[in-house]
Amino acid sequence: MVGDRRLEIRGVSVRFDRLLAVDAVDLAIEETEIVALLGPSGCGKSTLLRAIAGLQPVDSGSIVYEGVDLAPVPPHQRGMGLMSQAHSLFPHRSVAENVAFGLELRGLSGEQRRLRVEAMLASVGLAGYDARRIDGLSGGEAQRVALARTLAPGPTLVMLDEPMGSLDRELRERLAVDIRRTLRAEGVSALVVTHDQDEAFTIADRVAVMRAGRVVQVGTPIELRRAPRSTFVAGFLGIDTFVDVVVSAEGEFDIGGLVLRRPDWPAGPAIAVVPPEAIVIGGAGAVTAEVSQQRFRGDHFVTDVLLEGTRLVMNLVEPRREGNAVVVSIDVDRLARVDG
Amino acid sequence: MNRIARMLALLPISFLAVFFLYPLATILSRGLLGDGADPMATLGSASLWRVAWFTLWQAALSTVLTTALAMPGAWVLAHRRFRGRALVRAGAVVPFVLPTVVVATAFSALFASLGVDDGPISLAQSTAAIVMAHVFFNYAVVLRTVSTVWERLDIGLEDEARMLGATPWQAFRMITLPRLAPAVLGSASIVFLFSFTSFGVVLLLGGPRKATLDTEIWRYATQRGELDVAAVISVLQLVAVIGTLVLSTVFQHRYSVREPTRGVSRARRAVGTRQHVAQWLCLTSIAVVLGGPLVALVERSFRTSGGYGLASYRSLSAGEGRISVLPQSASEAVTNSLWIAALAALIATAAGLGAAVVSQRGGPLGSLTEAAYLLPLGTSGVLLGLGFLLALDDPPLDLRTSWILIPLAQALVGLPFVLRAVLPVIASIDERLREAAAMLGATPTRVWRAVDLPAIWRATLMGAGFAFAVSLGEFGATVFISRPERLTVPVAIFRLLGRPGTAAQGQAMALSVILMALTTVSILVVERVRPRGSDGW
């Protein structure tokens, strides 16, 4: 994954009147790397994308693309692709004419254009759609056409703004996998904006979590899950169990009566982030907990258990009655520590 | 539908049959089968084809100029938020509903103010004057139609194009312009029709040597008394108008684009020097095109031999004696105009509302009514006037000496405005609302009162207001059937302008300002009752 820097963002800020929409963001994208910008709506993700594209003036900081400072370069000369949110196809052009748009501007001959359009439509799984009208496409098809159009001129970096935004849940998962495969096949770097962590984890090599205009943590999906740096990041990744603890000099602390030990944690008050996968049945030093509630998720049950009054969440394959006992222990290596 | 409803449904279509189709048919039969003059002799005359050619190219030039000049204004109204935006939008429509005689007077005033009314560079009685007046008059058609569509276009698609490598100009030309094309073509064809059938402007600004088909019809019918020749020219004019309508429909259909459904995009404030300069240049273009003639008109109307004053206005009032060239005083003319226009608006609204309700019920009668009612849109006032003159002056319908002809003709001119306001609103009422009301036990009448009426009353008032404003300034048809004892303001202005001397000119300008004020007030009232989100007129 490590290659040359394709895009480097240094201290970029964008201000709307009094609101700092993007606040001193640093971010780098390597060659052929796919990075997801993950955050709640209104956190500045799309604004950052538009700033990189040159569609939004930057108030401070610099954006360097393949070694060139982009400040004086207008959007159409930046050589990157941007795929915006839903409904971004040109309604007066057919599918093939949409995909060919960027190729026309680069002066490709009719035959060259036709070959490239065919190849692009095939690579997004829409071979034979050339003559279709835009208003007859389903949401998923429209997004594939938009992706083909973005990739057709051969940009070295593409930015996708909520590429699965308006689609059904089931369709999103499939499209996310296809988008990743297509981006890989084209060998481009990509920056993908999303508010959905599943989507981010499916598509991206690394994920940058944004909150209120700032990038609060960057890492691979596994790094983020294992070591979220704040309850915000943990919460955004779907972990909602946080326990206040006091870590002793030896690294010992207590959760629901279980004495746990992490020698690498500094002493003092802290918050332990407890993901469901940290609570396991049985194991060393297991104790009895009480099942308080279960929610069926198809292939597993999200189960709330009470451990001496402390509520923890774990995943169980089997159903349990409320009030039943379950013998559990905590896999201490799965815990993360954030400052209280 | 019970029998009474059926009878009521026949009323609007009979009105149209008697006062529109019958006169038109009379023109056609006189023109094609007339026994007084040989139609072929008229059509074979070189002078007629010179007139036809002039009519065509001045209309084409007016259309191109109007469209080109209105585009920057349409852009700024669609995309920029600024103080007074609603006022500019509403104000821009004023010239369009201004009486043609007022427009002509305003341009005479402008030329006089600029000192180009005679001498080496004289614009008086020139083609340039006619074209300029057409641009002024029709500017709002393009401005409002295009800006309404432009506002709803997703301009994000231009960004999309920029990212695919398009320059700002390429993005506009390849992405935005094709999607604006139906609106541009549609409004341009309306401008072409109005310029092609223009009468008052050509008559008053062109002088005796500039003639279009409509002024020739008038000249033959009223000055030379050769009604058959007038009817032949009318047939030619009608063929050209129908041809234009067909072509414009075909082209609009070809270029129509289904935009994805989305809300109205919000106009943004200008940011930075460049955007402010662009905004002010566009606003200035609107102000110059629309404001210049109006300012000159008002300025001239207050001018006296020794500076500024109310002399022209005072001389209009009955107290200072009648204006010698007019059969009635100016104040009587104003009263006549207001009454006649109110009556015309009432007739147009009743007929239009009836037609809209019938056409909404569907069925063969419904579609026939709707089609028949769109016809008067393309028919010029001159043709209506000639039709009334030919058809309604002998038995079975001898109304020649009756002043009722005037409001009837004006109602026909106002009718399309009522329909354009009401029809889309009726069509947009969700059928499920009517079904829900019926399922709750409402009778058909009750359903109409509970569902349709609340939805359309604003649109109806708006249509009535437009019909009133248009009737106030109607000139083309009225000048044919005008009665000395029912002098209307536009006809009075026409008479005054035909008189030499600064006193009559001053009076014409003062009377024009009064007419303009009356029209403007009715339009501002219309803007107040405009249903939210409605576009067009």
pLDDT tens digit sequence for B439-473: 887 877 788 778 877 778 888 888 898 899 889 98
Is some CB atom of chain A closer than 8 A to the CB atom of B258?
Answer: yes
* B8 has a pLDDT exceeding 80: no
The pLDDT, as a whole number, for residue B532 is 57
Q: Which residues of A touch B269 (CB under 8 A)?
A: none
Q: What is the pTM of this model?
A: 0.78
By CA distance, what is A91's nearest residue in B?
Answer: B259
User: Distance (Å) from the C-alpha of residue B261 to the closest C-alpha of chain A?
Assistant: 9
Average pLDDT over residues B423-427: 77
Q: What is the crossing angle of helices B453-473 and B502-529, to 10°?
A: 170
Q: Is A82–B160 a contact, with Cβ atoms under 8 angstroms apart?
A: yes
Give residue for tokens 């963001």.
Answer: A25
Q: Which of B159, B164, B258 sits opposite A135 (nearest CB)?
A: B258
User: What is the DSSP-derived secondary structure letter of residue B84?
Assistant: T
Among A10-14, A203-207, B61-65, B210-214, the least confident range: B210-214
The pLDDT, as a whole number, for residue B34 is 67
Among A168-182, A264-278, B30-44, B513-527, the least confident range: B30-44
* C-alpha distance across the termini of chain A, in Å: 35
* C-alpha distance across the termini of chain B, in Å: 32
Best to test chain A binding among B153, B155, B164 (most A CBs inside 10 Å): B164
Q: pLDDT for B501-513, tens place per residue? A: 777 778 888 888 8
Give the β-pairing of A279-281 and A252-255: unpaired
Q: pLDDT for A183-208, tens place per residue? A: 998 889 999 999 888 889 999 999 99
Q: Which residues of B touch A50 (CB under 8 A)?
A: 159
Among A327-331, B199-203, B453-457, B510-514, the least confident range: B453-457
CA distance B85 to B339: 34
- List CB contacts of B401: < 8 A, sequence separation 6 or more: B483
By CA distance, what is A87's nearest residue in B?
Answer: B260
User: Distance (Å) from the C-alpha of residue B304 to the closest C-alpha of chain A?
Assistant: 53
Residue scoring higher pLDDT (B120 or A268): A268
Among B250-259, B369-378, B446-455, B494-503, the least confident range: B369-378
By CA distance, what is A106's nearest residue in B?
Answer: B165
Using 50, 70 and 90 to split pLDDT, how confident is the model at B371?
low
Backbone angles phi, psi at A65, to 5 degrees: -120, 120
Using 50, 70 and 90 to split pLDDT, how confident is the model at B3?
low
The pLDDT, as a whole number, for residue A99 is 92
* B320 has a pLDDT exceeding 70: no
Which class for A28: exposed (0-12), middle (13-18), buried (19 or more C-beta within 10 A)? middle
Q: pLDDT for A83-94, tens place per residue? A: 887 668 888 889
* B309 has a pLDDT exceeding 80: no
The pLDDT, as a whole number, for residue B536 is 47
- List CB contacts of A204: < 8 A, sequence separation 6 or more: A34, A35, A36, A192, A221
Q: Is A75–B159 a contact, with Cβ atoms under 8 angstroms apart?
A: yes
Among A135-144, A163-172, A311-320, the least confident range: A163-172
* B319 has a pLDDT exceeding 50: no
Using 50, 70 and 90 to split pLDDT, how confident is the model at B485?
confident
Residue scoring higher pLDDT (A52 or B453): A52
Is some CB atom of chain A closer than 8 A to the CB atom of B175?
Answer: yes
CA distance B28 to B331: 39
The pLDDT, as a whole number, for residue A331 is 92
Is the Cβ–Cβ distance between A163 and A147 less than 8 Å? yes
Q: Is A92–B178 a contact, with Cβ atoms under 8 angstroms apart?
A: yes
Is some CB atom of chain A closer than 8 A to the CB atom of B166?
Answer: yes
The pLDDT, as a whole number, for residue B82 is 85
Q: pLDDT for A148-181, tens place per residue? A: 999 999 898 999 988 887 677 778 888 888 889 9
Give the β-pairing of A189-194 and A242-247: unpaired
Give the β-pairing of A242-247 and A34-38: unpaired
The pLDDT, as a whole number, for residue A261 is 93
Is some CB atom of chain A closer than 8 A to the CB atom of B252?
Answer: no
The pLDDT, as a whole number, for residue B26 is 83
Average pLDDT over residues B397-407: 76
Best to test chain A binding among B149, B159, B160 (most A CBs inside 10 Å): B160
Q: Which of A50, A76, A92 sits opposite B166 (nearest CB)?
A: A76
Q: Which residues of A touch B165 (CB under 8 A)?
A: 76-77, 102, 105-106, 153
- Residue burial B187-215, b: 16+ Cβ < 10 Å; e: rest: bbbbbbbbbbbbbbbbbbbbeeebbbbbb
CA distance A331 to B524: 75
Is some CB atom of chain A closer than 8 A to the CB atom of B268?
Answer: no
Count the neighbouring beta carbons within 10 Å of the beta carbon of residue A255: 22
* A1 has a pLDDT exceeding 50: no
Q: Residue B224 is which amino acid?
A: R
CA distance B94 to B140: 8
Q: Which of B325, B381, B363, B11 is nearest to B199 (CA)?
A: B381
Q: Which of A54, A84, A105 sits opposite B165 (nearest CB)?
A: A105
Size of interface A-B (CB pairs under 8 A): 68
Q: Residue B133 is which amino acid?
A: A
CA distance B115 to B98: 24
- Backbone dihedral region of A218: left (phi > 0), alpha (psi from -120 to 50 degrees) or beta? beta
Among A263-267, A327-331, B24-28, the least confident range: B24-28
Mean pLDDT of chain A: 89
Using 50, 70 and 90 to split pLDDT, how confident is the model at A2?
very low
Domains (ranges, CATH) in chain B?
1-35+309-537 (1.10.3720.10)
Count the neighbouring beta carbons within 10 Å of the beta carbon of residue B334: 20
The pLDDT, as a whole number, for residue A301 is 92
Best to test chain A binding among B154, B158, B163, B253 (most A CBs inside 10 Å): B163
Q: Which of B159, B163, B258 sits opposite A91 (nearest CB)?
A: B258
B303 sits in which H/E element: strand B303-304
Among A52-61, B230-239, B367-376, B435-444, the least confident range: B367-376
Q: Which residues of B touch A102 (CB under 8 A)?
A: 164-165
Q: Is A101–B258 a contact, with Cβ atoms under 8 angstroms apart?
A: no
